[in-house]
Amino acid sequence: MAKKAKRIFLCQECGYMSQKYLGRCPNCGAWSTLVEEVVRDEKEQRGARVSLSGERSKPMKLEEVEYRETPRVATDMEEFNRVLGGGVVPGSLVLIGGDPGIGKSTLLLQVSKQLSEHGTVLYVSGEESAYQIKLRSERLSEEENDFYLYAETNMNDIRMEIERMEPEFVVIDSIQTMLLPDIDSIPGTVSQIRSITAELLQLAKSNDIAIFIVGHVTKEGNIAGPRMLEHMVDTVLYFEGERSNSFRILRAVKNRFGSTNEIGIFDMHTQGLVEVTNPSEVFLEERLANATGSAVVAALEGTRPILVEIQALVSPTLFGNAKRTTTGIDYNRASLIMAVLEKRVGLLLQNQDAYLKSAGGVKLVEPAIDLAVAVAIASSYKEKGTQETDCFIGEIGLTGEIRRVTRIEQRVHEAEKLGFKRIFVPKNNAQSVQNVKNVEIIPVSTISEVVEKVFR
């Protein structure tokens, strides 16, 4: 007698399992996300990892493992290589997420063309036909793209083609459209995504195939599907940007082979994505001279220092409660800095609406931006502009002290390269700055001292 299939309810947001339907997920709190799915018996699951040559994995002593130096495969896009940690690692599983239409497929088409010079590339598309991809490829480049297209969603057929072709690189566009027929659920559900990712992980690790997976992003900004998906892969990249702005930011939030929080910046053109080799100059090119509410910070994104303009607009509120709005800056951090300015410097901000943003759409999360945010707020409140060649670096404590930051030399040299003449740095960092000739380093210890020196 055939064993009855086990049916459970799975949350499509977090992967929580329940024996009965619930309107609200007890784990993540999302409503109407539990979907009935069939769970396969463990005996039906695939066994040990098997390579394309038929060799099965087995336990080995650490000293018996043969060391093989596998150099990274570098593309022609230095920004893409930087985010990955120096290039594509053979056998890695890379997840690229982003909003619809942001340019994920465009990026991977260009990368596939460049990787085809180093090995066989199989581009699997579940969203577009081979003809549609061909049209896009011709628009992006006049050169012939020497890689294989495969418009298919059945994971069993895709695995058979991978076993037949034995490619060095595989692109899956996108994971939400792939289907494993053995699982009784529609594409994009938790069971499908989890099982297909496990198949791809097995293929990548057993055969040294670098696999790129495209993942859609939910309205909350997370990759659709359970968070388990991000834990299974080696690298997670987010492709960010605004549709009204041509600049795109590729950000690494997880990387087993390189630095996290590394970013690469691209400019979207009709011919595809073009690298931005000097992002600091791009972010500052439209800055107005002697404008109030403006300050520049040398922020650190991964290993790269970037000069970004912080803008603030402070105006009297027309209602009882003052409004606070931030773009690219953490809301709680901005509120904290305004409280310090009111308590330690004496700026009456409780009846002022405040609007803050980082110019260019880049998201700033590190503490070193505190001083620039404070100066921009004070500048708008006092209606006094900062000098165009001033740069501000430092973290602000609750007692108003300016605390030291990391890699101060790299930040200062980046500011010096773009012509800044005065740089305000924490007093405890000043001695670390050397080999600077054309810049005046101003050590500061409190926020009140900075406000006095800038607006005297």
Residues paired with residue 216 on neighbouring β-strands, in sequence order: 98
- Of 360, 26, 95, nearest to 9 by C-alpha is 26
293 SS3 class = coil
Q: Which amino acid is at 192?
A: Q
Residues paired with residue 440 on neighbouring β-strands, in sequence order: 422
101 labeled binding residue: yes
Task: Provide the token pair at 109.
Answer: 């088409």
104 labeled binding residue: yes
Measured from the Cβ of residue 19, the count of other Cβ atoms closer than 10 Å reads: 9
426 labeled binding residue: no
CA-based end-to-end distance of the chain: 89
102 labeled binding residue: yes
Contact assessment for residue 34 and residue 56, using Cβ atoms and an 8 Å cutoff: no
CB neighbour burial string for 264-290, b if at least 16 within 10 angstroms, e if fewer: bbbebeeebbeebeebbebbbeeeeee
- What 8-state DSSP symbol labels residue 290? T
Task: Provide the token pair at 454.
Answer: 């800038």
106 SS3 class = helix
71 labeled binding residue: no
Tokens 């090119």 correspond to: 285
CA 172 to CA 123: how far, in whole Å?
7
Q: How far is CA 24 from CA 8, 186, 407, 415, 455, in A?
A: 15, 21, 46, 51, 54
Q: Which amino acid is at 173?
A: D
- Of 304, 322, 331, nearest to 417 by C-alpha is 304
Q: For the packed helices 447-454 and 370-382, what is the interaxial angle rounded to 10 degrees?
A: 50
100 labeled binding residue: yes
For the chain, how long is the longest CA-to-CA vector? 89
CA 233 to CA 198: how far, in whole Å?
9
Binding residues for ATP: 98-105
Binding site per annotation, positions: 98-105
